[in-house]
Structure 1
Amino acid sequence: MDMESSRNQHEEQGWETPAIDDDHQSADKLLVESAFKSTPVPPWTQQITLRAMVTSLILSLVFNFIVCKLNLTTGVIPSLNVAAGLLGFAVIKAWTTTLAKAGLLKQPFTRQENTVIQTCVVASSGIAFSSGTASYLLGMSPYVASQGGSGNMPENVKKLSVGWMIGFLFVVSFVGLFSIVPLRKIMILKYKLTYPSGTATAYLINSFHTPKGAKLAKKQVLVLFKSFVFSFAFAFFQWFYTGLDGCGFSSFPTFGLQAYKQKFYFDFSSTYVGVGMICPYMVNVSLLVGAIISWVFMWPMIEKKKGDWYSADLPSSSLHGLQGYKVFIAIAMMLGDGLYHVVFMLVKTILSLIANSRRKDSSIVDPNGADLDSQVVDYDEVRRSEFFLKDQIPNKVAIAGYVALAIVSIIAAPFIFHQLKWYHILVAYIIAPVLAFCNAYGCGLTDWSLASNYGKLAIIIFSSWVGLEHGGVIAGLASCGVMMSIVSTASDLMQDFKTGYLTLSSPRSMFFSQVIGTAMGCVLTPLVFWFFYKSYNIGDPDGTYPAPYGLLYRGIALLGVEGISSLPKNCLNLVITFFLIGFVINLLQELLRRYETRFGIYRFIPSPMCMAIPFYLGGYFAIDMCVGSLILFMWERSNKKKATDFAPAVASGLICGDSLWSVPAAILALVNVNPPLCMKFFTVAQLNDLLKGS
């Protein structure tokens, strides 16, 4: 699905779900529902079981730790759908097998229950991204505000706490679920939108519950477990050498000390090696290209202008110095990329709607199996449509739910953020359903979710509306949360409806599992974030958890309230240039995709969004991810089938093991247990100076 290896959830990342070929689709039409013909479909109340909810809660906690760590390091998050579906299958299958051997099994494990678990876990871990604990909420904190310099005043700063973060998430995270429900039949049955992530997830779950798929799933679980143990043990080993700041394998100057100063080194992160194995090759190349352009050429040249373009006396974290160029140029490129995709998606949506309205064969299949236009449909489609239409969610309930939750949000949110007035939120909720529809429809066509782009747009609009003196920075960041929550959850829910349609899962079970998963995320995400927040110096650009999007989102809000006056000298010219570059690169790629089909040159054009991320962070994580791509490439050359079957499991294990080591590491840090050794590297001259000093 998403966050992810699809462009669905975290469009911030620029991932891409592998395309599902026509042969696979044809095989699915011919075989899937015929294979399950003799398997009874449980009612929706039996699809959401206690064991499914317990499993979802456990996996949600695990995945929240993983997503939180990834958010706080680089903000680059792969798809965890495969791991969620696979681990959910493994846990319940082991439980039901044990009960069956004891003669105590009352309800067999079905693909519908597997779908509920996957939906619940992904909804929960999705909140870890859309909650903004590593972006817009973190951008409100005093520490991140101090790095921004301007706008660092009481009205534009809010101290973070678990209580109000949980309250805010509960207030805004459920509204989007009701905004798109009335359109589910139109999008799934009438327009037959693909929703590649939801479709791929359904194929995965359907295959698990066939004899051949179950056998492969067991092997994948074993591979994932081995990979997890290796990654966890290696992270534990590395911990022993990190006794002081700048120590350990993560500070190994792989390409020399000069390259290390420009943040070019391999930091032995199993997490991002695994991420690199999941995401497309071009994403990793784009990250590396962006790192080379910025840290090899741009920043050294601008640093030579110190004293001319910006004051030499400024602290390294000031947005009026070199840090300002890094932040605002990265923001400009992201906004250029985002603007292109918003315009492209709106145009594509409008053209598709016009085309669908003219098509005579765009009709909903009757639940009794009769096509409304006498169109010949296969057995699978009739059966899926029958179950999809069986459990209706009344439109009146959806509309009433949206209005009621919007009223609660309009009343409650200003108590949390007094800078944001009730009429600001009202305006957001009036325009949000239109944006939610555009995002969900576009996501069905291309698998792109533009939730963060709509959020950035909300920051600029509402921060400039409120103004600097009245807390425009906080108002803009909070409005980002309101907008992102609606638009993101709407597209996620429609993806789940598509998955449910293809697995004969009830729309009601999909809706309620999404609600339950969202509720889990609203509680777990702030608690997990707070665990990291109290254990580490979150937001430090040179620390373990730099949380880059915190300062980037605050920078967007500062642009909204201060305009170009907040930019250092000559930064405006560079900002405009890179904004246009971000837009033009996407336009060029689309033109080549349409008109240059012989060589497929468009496949080798880097993504501006991905190029912009290392502008702020450096190239170390891009090198990790390129190593992951290299491992996958060599594996595919050696045995493509095994690589296809097991690479996602290996990558998921690497990510899970390394990420979960952060839990015992944080506990050790909280109880003041420090690593016993320090591994650090010096030049000969530095070492001689140290020896002379001693």
Structure 2
Amino acid sequence: MPSRSQPRDYSSISFAATHDAEPETPKELTFQAVSIGLLIGCLLCFANLSFGLQTGWISMMSLQSALIGFLISRMLPIPLTAQQIIVVQTTAVATGTMPLAAGFVGIIPALKLLDETRDGSPPINLTWLAAIGWSCSVAFFGVFLSPPIRKQVIVNEQLAFPSGTATAQLIAVLHKMPPPDTTIRRRIGYSPVEEEDTDAQRTDRDNQIEESRAPDSLQSEGWHALTSSFVASGTLTLIAYFFPALFSIPIFGTYLARQWLWTFTPSLAYVGQGIIMGFPTTLSMAMGMVLGWAVLSPLAKLSGWAPGPVGDMTDGARGWILWTSLAIMCADSLVSLLPVLAEYVAGLFPRGGQRVKEDYDTETEDRLVPSSWVVGGLTVSVVLGTLLVWVVFGNDGIKPWATLLGFVLGGLLSVLGVRALGETDINPVSGLGKISQLFFAWVQPGNIVANIIAGGVAEAGAQQAGDLMQDLKTGHLCGASPRAQFFGQLIGSAVSIVVTTTGYSLYNRAYVIPGPSFPAPTAYVWLSLARLLRDGQLPENSAIFMISFAAIFGLISGIKTYTAQHQLWYSQWIPSGVAFAIGFLNTPSFTIARLIGGIVEHVYRNRYAKNRSDIRLIVIASGFVLGEGIVSVVSLVLKTSGVGVASCWGCAPGLCGGCE
């Protein structure tokens, strides 16, 4: 029996025989694996940049990256191993999530909205080279934070990281491997478990092993589903570029469409995103949409609190309900972080008589990231990042000491964000970003530029460390080398600096950002909070709604966190505050499409899915997302080349992209 001070690693049992039988394991960080990861990641990067500028929401797509990587690798003379597929996935995620990590869907557009009279600074439009410098300053900090956090939350505490665990189970199915054992978690606050499995656990594992015998036809079926959905989504997107009314359908009549923005965008990409998000999340978004756009928006407009056009983010109803959305996001994120913070602090002070865990890891030293690399990398990334931010924005923008403080705060917030992600599968970067803004309003008062930039630096580390931790969880369950994943993350982040900056520059040249086609709603969240902290002025009668909804969703978040920790079945049906608030930020058109996707996922999973290894719908959803994301680049080229829409027939003023 293993000792309690160093418990047996249940998550690696499935692969112990493989390692014993093959002492010379195949090399994981290969040219093929990194190349495929970069290819998938670049596609995801363009897709996330487009969707992020439209709705403020991007997809990590780790499971989808692993799936697509598997399908591509089957075309190679020697297919990639499961561990190499994890390197593919890790590289792809690091590449694809840079639009959010570097702030291209929020912070950078927010700086463009500055008004010199109101904010004390003229609008800041970064050149391509300046944007490269900014991206380099925040691209690697979170990567170097990952190795030390990994050991604590994945190895010692064995937090769930649901998305990372689901990806590991998918990889096991695709490679016909025994499924990773995820039925046991040892961590602070959970009751001790017995060494022997219960009958129910053994039965569940037998079922998983049976499901892991994936059919040999998966490759051909997967490619057919992926290409068909990709072509369908891409074709619809291209047609909608020439005929914009197709993506702006007045489902409740012309009056509600023109005056109150109730339109429907039949985008297959957003349907695919809804499938990936799942029904509970999309339902929370839809509830927020109904309350925000069918109740609060008309109330603010008809009461005279928001006299401008409904869609105006300054004095219109959309700008008015933004504040309630902001209050909900902050309350939900902060309350969900409280038990995580309390548990972390409790872990620092073990009770009397409690044995302290020994310092161990499930990997050998040659597969881990050396501490000297971590310390050196963090030092270089912080020093270089501080210098680059000073070069890009100057002393008038932000002082170097404030940037340095932003990195320190980012490191602290990363721990909270990662732990929240491990528990709930949600990285509360929106709330963490607001915490950083509140802190810098006190540190450097009155400077809106510094508030946004320093908050972005802190948020970048938390967001990147959290998303990459899901991949490390997958690697832990499937026996992949943390060092190989670390290199994949560095390579993906480095390449994505150029890809993301170039993509944003092209969008910025072809479209007005923020504008009708790409409203960048999170940019207004950043700027509005910075202005509030500077001026203390709220729109008329918005304060009472902010306080009321913050209190309501603080309570809801507490209940949701409690039920999730105790693994109660109904926890997933308690509304998510962040998702609910996103329903306020986005116009109904995108939320309706995501809700359709969530309903499709729910019906398919409960009525038509053969078993838990049935991934057909995931493949189709991935094709939908990638199809529109990639064809949007074609639309961008057409727009830049001067090729406009074919007809604006049926378009209401300000509702159709390309006809504004």
| TM-score bracket for the superposition, by shorter chain length | 0.7 to 0.9
Output the CA distance in 2 between the equivalents of 1:283 and 1:619. Answer: 15
Summarize the Cα distance change of 1:553–1:114 in structure 2 as closer, same or farther, 3 Å threshold.
same
1:319 Cα offset (Å): 2.8
The answer (yes or no) to whether the contact 2:325–2:582 under 8 Å persists in 1 is: yes
Summarize the Cα distance change of 1:661–1:559 in structure 2 as closer, same or farther, 3 Å threshold.
same
Match of 1:661 among 612, 631, 641: 631
Aligned to 1:194: 160
Aligned to 1:461: 439
The answer (yes or no) to whether the contact 2:107–2:453 under 8 Å persists in 1 is: yes
Matched letter for residue 246 of structure 2: F
Output the CA distance in 2 between the equivalents of 1:571 and 1:125. Answer: 36
Matched letter for residue 509 of structure 1: A
Structure 1 stretch 67-76 or stretch 577-586: which is displaced more? 577-586
Aligned to 1:437: 415
Within-5 A mapping of 1:497-512: 497-512=472-487
The answer (yes or no) to whether the contact 1:158–1:474 under 8 Å persists in 2 is: no
| 1:371-395 superposed Cα distances (whole Å, 9 cap, x missing partner) | xxxxxxxxxxxxxx2x444434332
Summarize the Cα distance change of 1:590–1:544 in structure 2 as closer, same or farther, 3 Å threshold.
same
Aligned to 2:593: 624
Within-5 A mapping of 1:377-392: 385=362, 387-392=363-368
1:648 Cα offset (Å): 0.7
Output the CA distance in 1 between the equivalents of 2:430 and 2:35. Answer: 31
Match of 1:239 among 241, 262, 281: 241
Secondary structure of the corresponding residue to residue 477 of structure 2: helix
Output the CA distance in 2 between the equivalents of 1:157 and 1:435. Answer: 29
Aligned to 2:253: 256
| 1:552 is aligned to 2:521 | no
Secondary structure of the corresponding residue to residue 198 of structure 1: helix
Output the CA distance in 2 between the equivalents of 1:398 and 1:338. Answer: 29
Match of 1:157 among 123, 127, 130: 123
The answer (yes or no) to whether the contact 2:296–2:321 under 8 Å persists in 1 is: no
Aligned to 1:651: 621
Match of 2:64 among 83, 108, 118: 83
The answer (yes or no) to whether the contact 2:74–2:219 under 8 Å persists in 1 is: no
Matched letter for residue 302 of structure 1: A
Summarize the Cα distance change of 1:314–1:185 in structure 2 as closer, same or farther, 3 Å threshold.
closer
Aligned to 1:293: 291
Aligned to 1:326: 321
Secondary structure of the corresponding residue to residue 266 of structure 2: coil
Aligned to 1:19: none
1:363 Cα offset (Å): 4.6
Matched letter for residue 511 of structure 1: F
| 1:151-203 superposed Cα distances (whole Å, 9 cap, x missing partner) | 344x2531132211111111222123223433543443333333333232223
The answer (yes or no) to whether the contact 2:409–2:458 under 8 Å persists in 1 is: no
For these two proteins, the number of residue pairs brought into alignment is 605
Output the CA distance in 2 between the equivalents of 1:213 and 1:26. Answer: 26
Output the CA distance in 1 between the equivalents of 2:389 and 2:171. Answer: 39
Match of 2:270 among 269, 272, 276: 272
The answer (yes or no) to whether the contact 1:291–1:611 under 8 Å persists in 2 is: yes
Secondary structure of the corresponding residue to residue 204 of structure 1: helix
Summarize the Cα distance change of 1:224–1:573 in structure 2 as closer, same or farther, 3 Å threshold.
same
Summarize the Cα distance change of 1:652–1:437 in structure 2 as closer, same or farther, 3 Å threshold.
same
Aligned to 1:417: 393
| 1:348 is aligned to 2:343 | yes
User: What TM-score results when the alignment is normalised by the length of structure 1?
Assistant: 0.80
Aligned to 1:70: 51
Summarize the Cα distance change of 1:213–1:447 in structure 2 as closer, same or farther, 3 Å threshold.
same
Within-5 A mapping of 1:93-112: 93-96=74-77, 109-112=80-83
Aligned to 2:369: 393
Output the CA distance in 2 between the equivalents of 1:509 and 1:67. Answer: 25
Within-5 A mapping of 1:157-176: 157-176=123-142
| 1:284 is aligned to 2:254 | no
| 1:337 is aligned to 2:332 | yes
Within-5 A mapping of 1:530-545: 530-540=505-515, 543-545=516-518
The answer (yes or no) to whether the contact 2:557–2:577 under 8 Å persists in 1 is: yes
Output the CA distance in 2 between the equivalents of 1:467 and 1:152. Answer: 12
Within-5 A mapping of 1:357-368: 360=355, 362-363=357-358
1:139 Cα offset (Å): 0.3
1:271 Cα offset (Å): 0.9
Aligned to 2:143: 177
User: What TM-score results when the alignment is normalised by the length of structure 2?
Assistant: 0.84
Matched letter for residue 520 of structure 1: V
**Seq. identity, %:** 24
Summarize the Cα distance change of 1:523–1:596 in structure 2 as closer, same or farther, 3 Å threshold.
closer
1:409 Cα offset (Å): 2.2
| 1:58 is aligned to 2:51 | no
1:517 Cα offset (Å): 0.9
The answer (yes or no) to whether the contact 2:12–2:478 under 8 Å persists in 1 is: no
CA RMSD in angstroms comes to 3.1
1:365 Cα offset (Å): 5.9
Structure 1 stretch 604-613 or stretch 115-124: which is displaced more? 604-613
The answer (yes or no) to whether the contact 2:12–2:476 under 8 Å persists in 1 is: no
Match of 1:119 among 90, 97, 109: 90
Matched letter for residue 553 of structure 1: W
1:356 Cα offset (Å): 9.7
The answer (yes or no) to whether the contact 2:337–2:416 under 8 Å persists in 1 is: no
The answer (yes or no) to whether the contact 2:131–2:501 under 8 Å persists in 1 is: yes
1:85 Cα offset (Å): 0.9
Output the CA distance in 2 between the equivalents of 1:630 and 1:648. Answer: 14
1:592 Cα offset (Å): 5.8
The answer (yes or no) to whether the contact 2:226–2:619 under 8 Å persists in 1 is: yes
| 1:404 is aligned to 2:401 | no
